[in-house]
Amino acid sequence: METKYIFFTGGVVSSVGKGVTAAALGLLFKERGFSVSVQKLDPYINVDPGTMSPYQHGEVFVLDDGAETDLDLGHYERFIDNPLSQVSNFTSGQVYDEVISKERRGDYLGGTIQIIPHITNEIKRRIRLAAHTTKAEIMLIEIGGTVGDIESQPFMESLRQMRNEVGTENTYFVHVTWLPYIGATGELKTKPTQHSVAELRGIGIAPSMIIARSDYDVDQEIIDKIALFCDVEKRAVVPMKTANSLYEIPLLVEEAGVADYIIEKINLKASKKPNLKPWKELSKKINADKPKIKIALVGKYIELQDAYMSVREALRHAALSIGVEDEVVWIHSADLEKGKNLDALESADAIIVPGGFGERGIEGKILAAQYARENKIPYLGLCLGMQLMCIEFARNVLGYENANSSEFDQGTPHPVIDLMLEQRNISDMGGTMRLGLYPCALQKGTLAQKSYNKEEINERHRHRFEFNNKYRKEFEENGMVFSGTSPDNMLVEIAELKDHPFMVSSQFHPEFLSRPMRPHPLFVGFLKSTKKVAKI
C-alpha cells in the first residue's frame, strides 16, 4: 500500500503550535487503527540541534537510538506514543552534508550540483526512507519555520515534486496560520493568512486545509472569507482557538472533525472508532481544583522555558496522576549565587535541578542541592543535577573543599565527576556524547527501585561526564546510595541520599520517557515525597 503523506506547513508566524496540532492529529489517526509515523524537517543549516544553544532552539529531545532532535519530537512522542528514531528528524545541514560528500566521492560523475534536482532529491529520499523504515500508512511531515523563509524553499519544492511523484490522492497539505487580533477595532484579521497562502501557491502548492490558530473565537464570516480567498473548502478551514492546556488539543481537533475529513479526502477507511476516554479523563483532571505544589526549577536557561520542555511536561504528567497542580517556580541559578531569590527556593515544596552544560550558574545549583539536603526538601537531579548533587556532597559532607567536575575545573584536586573514558579522545562536539537508551540495574529496597517497582530499566542519556568510581566507596560509607548502575556496575546511573525523604538523581534524562498516560515513576515518587502530598 502506498503511504499517505500529510504535510504541515506554517504561515504568518512560527510558534503557533504547528507541531502540537500535527501530533494531536497523529494520535487521532492512530486511534482509528492506522499505523502512523512522523517526521520533522528543519530547514536550518546545523546538522542537528545537539550543538545549538538552548536559548536559540529550546530543548534537545533525545530519542531511544540517541538521535538529538527538535523539541517537537517530544510532542509527537508524548501524544502519539510511538518511539521515533534518527530518520524522524532531519535538517538542511544533513542534506547538504550528504550531497557534498557524494560530490567529493565523485558519485555525480562530474555533474553540476544544484538545488534542483540534487538537494531536492536528497530531501525526497529522506522522506521516503522514513516512510519505508517505519512502514507507516500515514506519515505526518512537519516543515519547520514558515512559508517564505529562504531556507525552506528547497523543502517546499521537494513537497511539490513529491505530490506529482506519489500522486495527489496520496498527499495532503495542511497549512497552519495565525489570525492576529486588532484591539482597536476588535477584529481578527485574515490578510496575513491570505498572503501566506499566496506565497505557498507561488511555489506550486495549494493547501488542502487551513488550520487558523487564534487566541479568540473565530466566527463563520471569517471562516467563509478564508475559504473564499484561499480557495479551500469551507469544511477545510478549521479555526483552532488557543487551548487551556496542551493535552486538550486532541479533543479540540477531534471535535472539529479534522481526522475524519482528512481520511475521507485521502481515501482511507478507519478500522476502529477512536477511544479518547483517557484524554477526556485527563482533561477533567486538568480542569479540576487541585492542591498546588510549588516546585523550584533551578536552571540557567530559564528565560526561555522551552529549554526545559520535557521536564515541565513530565512534572505535569506526574502531578495530574496524583491529583495535584504543579506550580513551577523558575529560579535562575546565577541569582542564587548572588544571594538573590533565596526566598523563592525556601518557599518551594520540592526542588528540581535539570540538565545543562558549561560552568555558568553551576555554583547556584550546588547551593540549591545543599539547601535540599540540609533541609530535607525533596530533590530530583537530572543528569547535571545528579553530578552537582555529588559535588555538593563531596564538598560539604566529605569535606573536599574544591571537589568539582572536570568539566568546570580541570585542575580540581577532587574530580568526583570526570570525563568518561570513551570520551577522552573525542574532539568533535556534534553527536559524540553518550546518547540514547542504556540499561540500568536498580538496587532493591532503595527509593529509586521502589518508585519504579522494577529491577532493571532503560533510560535515555545525553552526557559526557560521569561519577568517578574512585570515590564510590567513600560516598557510600557516608550516606550516599548508588541505587542504579549500569548492569556491569561500572557506571553510576542513580544516586540517592540515605535518611532523606527523597534526594534522588539520575545520570540519565527520565523526562524524555514521561507520557501523559504513563507518568514517569521518578517524577511521581518525587512529588509524592513532598510534605503536602503526604498529607492528602
- Sequence length of the chain is 536
In the complex with ligand GLN, the residue whose CB is nearer, 274 or 355, is 355
Give the residue, chosen from 357, 397, 437, 469, that forms a contact with ligand GLN under the rule CB under 6 A.
357
383 is catalytic: yes
Q: How many residues bind ligand GLN (CB under 6 A)?
A: 10
In the complex, the smallest distance separating the C-beta of residue 414 from ligand GLN, rounded to whole angstroms, is 17
Residue type, 9: T
Q: Which stretch binds ligand GLN (CB under 6 A): 158-166, 181-189, 312-320, 463-471?
A: 463-471
Residue 463 engages ligand GLN in binding (rule: CB under 6 A): yes
Residue 356 sits in the site that holds ligand GLN (CB under 6 A)? yes
Distance between CA 362 and CA 242 in Å, rounded?
37
- In the complex, residue closest to ligand GLN by CB: 355
Residue 237: how many other CB atoms lie within 10 Å? 24
What is the smallest separation between the CB atom of 408 and ligand GLN, expressed in angstroms?
9
Q: Which is nearer to ligand GLN, 8 or 308 (CB)?
A: 308
Q: Would you say 285 and 326 are in contact if contact means Cβ atoms under 8 Å apart? A: no
Helices 277-287 and 309-321, interaxial angle, to 10°?
Answer: 90
Give the burial class of 18: count Cβ atoms within 10 A of its Cβ; 0-12 exposed, 13-18 middle, 19 or more buried: buried
Question: Between 383 and 448, whose beta carbon lies closer to ligand GLN?
Answer: 383
User: For residue 245, what are the CA distances in angstroms to 22, 117, 282, 287?
Assistant: 16, 43, 10, 9
Q: What is the SS3 assignment for 219?
A: coil
Q: Where are the beta strands (DSSP E) in 128-254?
A: 138-143, 171-178, 181-182, 187-188, 209-214, 237-241
b vs e for 457-496, b when ≥16 Cβ sit within 10 Å of the residue's Cβ?
bebbbbbbbbbbeebbeebeeeebbbbbbeeeeebbbbbb
CB 274 within 8 A of CB 254: yes
Task: Please identify which residue in 10, 17, 145, 355 interacts with ligand GLN, judged by CB under 6 A.
Answer: 355
**Minimum CB distance to ligand GLN, residue 459 (Å):** 12
Is the CB of residue 483 less than 8 Å from the CB of residue 359? no
CA gap 348, 503 in Å, rounded: 15
Residue 465 touches ligand GLN, criterion: CB under 6 A: yes
Among candidate residues 383, 392, 463, 500, the one labeled active-site is 383
CB of 247 to ligand GLN, least distance (A): 26
Of 18 and 463, the one with the shorter C-beta distance to ligand GLN is 463
Report if residue 423 touches ligand GLN, rule: CB under 6 A: no
- Give least dist CB 362 to ligand GLN, A: 10
Catalytic residue from among 317, 500, 509, 520: 509
Indicate if 509 belongs to the active site. Answer: yes
Active-site residue among 248, 407, 466, 511? 511
Q: Establish if 383 lies at the interface with ligand GLN (CB under 6 A).
A: yes
368 lies in the binding site for ligand GLN (CB under 6 A): no
Residue list 93-152, contact with ligand GLN (CB under 6 A): none
Q: Shortest gap between Cβ of 271 and ligand GLN (angstroms)?
A: 41
- Please state the three-class secondary structure of 288-314 as a single string: CCCCEEEEEEEECCCCCHHHHHHHHHH
493 touches ligand GLN (CB under 6 A): no
User: Min. distance of Cβ 486 from ligand GLN in angstroms?
Assistant: 15
Instruction: Decide if 31 is catalytic.
Output: no
Q: Determine, following the binding rule CB under 6 A, whether residue 213 of this chain makes contact with ligand GLN.
A: no
Active site residues: 383, 509, 511
Residues contributing to the site for ligand GLN (CB under 6 A): 355-357, 383-384, 407, 462-465
